[in-house]
Chain A
Amino acid sequence: MKSNRLSFVWKQMNVQFHMRALSVFSFGLLVVQPAMFSGIGYLLARMAGRAMPDLFHVIIGGGIMGLWSSLVFTSFFDISNDRREGTLELIVGSPTSLGSVLAIRTLTNILTGTISLALSFLVVMLVFHYSPPISNLLPIVFSLGIMLFAFWCIGLFLAHFQVWSRLSGTFINYLELPIAILAAFMFPFEYLPHWIRWLSNMLPIRWAVTALGTSFQPVIEIQNLWLDWLFALGISCVYLVITWYLSSRVHDMIRVSGELHSV
């Protein structure tokens, strides 16, 4: 039974990796687009007369942006593609739950997205000769893990949207930049006006990114870091519960009404 599950996970990841990761589109999302955003940040710093940009927000923030973009444009549109190819019904009708399929797909998309993050770390270290303090290694790794988990939860939440309604596609397309702003990938969170921060605070990735930023500071305020970690994990779990609840409701609904393709 256990080996069957592992085999299922492996097969799903393999298919997903071949279909999504090895494409020109993914290369653009993971390499070209983050490089452009970081390039703009770097040139803006030059325009302001600074020799060195803020490495965390400009370079690593670009990598996080790549991870986010790839998540939005792959996880969400996986279901659109299934709908278009006519495989959505087969997936929903199969004994494996749609949630499991989407969970593994999203995980694969996240793992692929880490390429962008890894490249940004490489650029920071090799081009800008920055090395994070060794004492911070554990907080950095922990923050990274929590950030990937937060992205996975949000990705899973978004991936389910398309099952619930095909109309969601009209606005998900435009989520990329607003969420990048609300989660403050490429600038400090404190720049956001106070009246919008409540919305940011509802996103686990905002807490996770702040935690990662704090982990890179020479002196870490451990109390703040713990708070960011806890909020990131807690809100991620809330998203998971909402996803699970809505998913089961929609499953029941479409089985009764047989309206999967028309939802």
Chain B
Amino acid sequence: MIRQLYGNLRLYVMSAWYSYRALYAWQSLMPYVSVKIAFPLAQMLLFIYMGRLAGLQDPLYIVIGNILLLPATNSVMGVCMTIDGERNFRTLPYLIASPAPRGPLFLGRSLVHIIDGALSTVSALLIGHFIFGLDLSRMNIGLTALTILLISATGCGLGLILGSLSLRTREAWTITSFLMMALYILCGVNFPVEILSRPLQVVAYGLPLTRGIAAARQAMAGAGWSTISSMVWGELLTGLVYVCIGYLLFTWFEKLSLVDGKIEAI
């Protein structure tokens, strides 16, 4: 039991390490830093200007929402890209054929994206503070950090579900990219979920990230644990459900692919 646990942990860490070496270690610092600054800044600016056109005077709701979606974007896209990348580089059949447990193998690769997401959030917070005047003085630092990590982790469940599609279709990455856009509408990033129609609100609260982003907003405004605990537990539960669904979907698609031999045929 302990040996198996150690083996899984080792696989998890090694997958994360190889993922880091494949995706980040070869990059020079300057392009990485500029991407970390340029992308969040452009995203915030576009939505702020759109908000101003709509007649919103205070851009901070949009700024905070976009900062908080960054770790989720990293983890959803990261996990999906991990599985889709194996397909693109023709290594997916080898992984499917290997006896290694799927959970630590694929979730380990997402660890790097979780850390990267946290770094993106820190850089975006600094942009928010220095460029848009975001007040960080009242922030409950511990709870904000906790909620940001939680958003990163729960995003992995959604990423696992979308990444599993790679086993059955070559368009998984495309589908993920466009579904990510829907998160800007559904998860309370640019406007509160209450603005949405009733059916869309149901969808929004059925997604991970919605409660996490709301909790992080409160923590950034200085709220304590008693105020956000229900949202944090709700987010954790939703995230766990998504991870379980993602894992089950992956194993089901894997079996289907082994039966009909169509891992790379579609």
Interface residues of A (CB under 8 A from B): 24-25, 28, 32-33, 36-37, 39-41, 43-50, 53-54, 57-58, 170-171, 174, 177-178, 180-181, 184, 186-188, 191
Contacts and interface: CB of A to CB of B under 8 A. Distances in A.
B54 A44 contact: yes
A47 B56 contact: yes
29 contacts: A24-B174, A25-B171, A25-B174, A36-B185, A39-B185, A40-B50, A40-B184, A41-B50, A41-B54, A43-B190, A43-B191, A43-B195, A44-B51, A44-B191, A46-B195, A47-B54, A47-B192, A48-B56, A49-B55, A54-B53, A174-B38, A174-B42, A177-B42, A181-B45, A181-B49, A184-B49, A186-B50, A186-B53, A187-B52
B53 A33 contact: no
Nearest to B49: A187
Contacts of A33: 178, 181
A47 B191 contact: yes
Contacts of B227: none
B47 interface: yes
A49 B51 CA distance: 12
A188 B52 CA distance: 10
Interface in B26-70: 31, 35, 38-39, 42-43, 45-47, 49-56
A191 B49 contact: yes
Given A43-B196, A46-B195, A47-B192, A36 B42 contact: no
Given A33-B181, A36-B184, A178-B42, A28 B174 contact: yes
A40 B42 contact: no
Contacts of A54: 53-54
A199 B50 CA distance: 20
Contacts of B31: 170-171
Given A24-B174, A41-B50, A53-B54, 20 more contacts: A24-B171, A25-B171, A28-B175, A36-B181, A36-B184, A40-B50, A41-B53, A41-B54, A44-B191, A47-B195, A48-B56, A50-B54, A174-B39, A180-B46, A186-B49, A186-B50, A187-B49, A187-B52, A187-B53, A191-B53
A50 B190 contact: no
Nearest to A34: B181
SS of B interface (majority): helix
B178 A43 contact: no
Contacts of A46: 191, 195
A28 B42 contact: no
Interface of B: 31, 35, 38-39, 42-43, 45-47, 49-56, 171, 174-175, 177-178, 181-182, 184-185, 190-192, 195-196
SS of A interface (majority): helix
B81 to A, nearest CB: 14
Contacts of A28: 174-175, 177-178
Given A36-B185, A178-B38, A44 B50 contact: yes
Which 7 A-B pairs give the minimum distances between C-beta atoms?
A48-B55, A177-B42, A44-B54, A187-B49, A36-B181, A28-B178, A45-B54
Contacts of B46: 177, 180-181, 186
Among A47, A50, A184, which residue has the most Cβ atoms of chain B within 10 A?
A: A47
A48 B59 CA distance: 12
A221 to B, nearest CB: 21
A255 to B, nearest CB: 30
Contacts of A174: 35, 38-39, 42
A38 B89 CA distance: 36
A186 B45 CA distance: 11
Nearest to B191: A47
Contacts of A53: 54
Contacts of A24: 171, 174-175
A172 B43 CA distance: 16
B80 to A, nearest CB: 14
B178 A32 contact: yes
Nearest to A46: B195
Contacts of B190: 40, 43-44
Nearest to A32: B178
Contacts of B38: 174, 178
Among A39, A43, A44, A170, which residue has the most Cβ atoms of chain B within 10 A?
A: A44
A57 B175 contact: no
A159 B190 CA distance: 33
Contacts of A50: 54-55
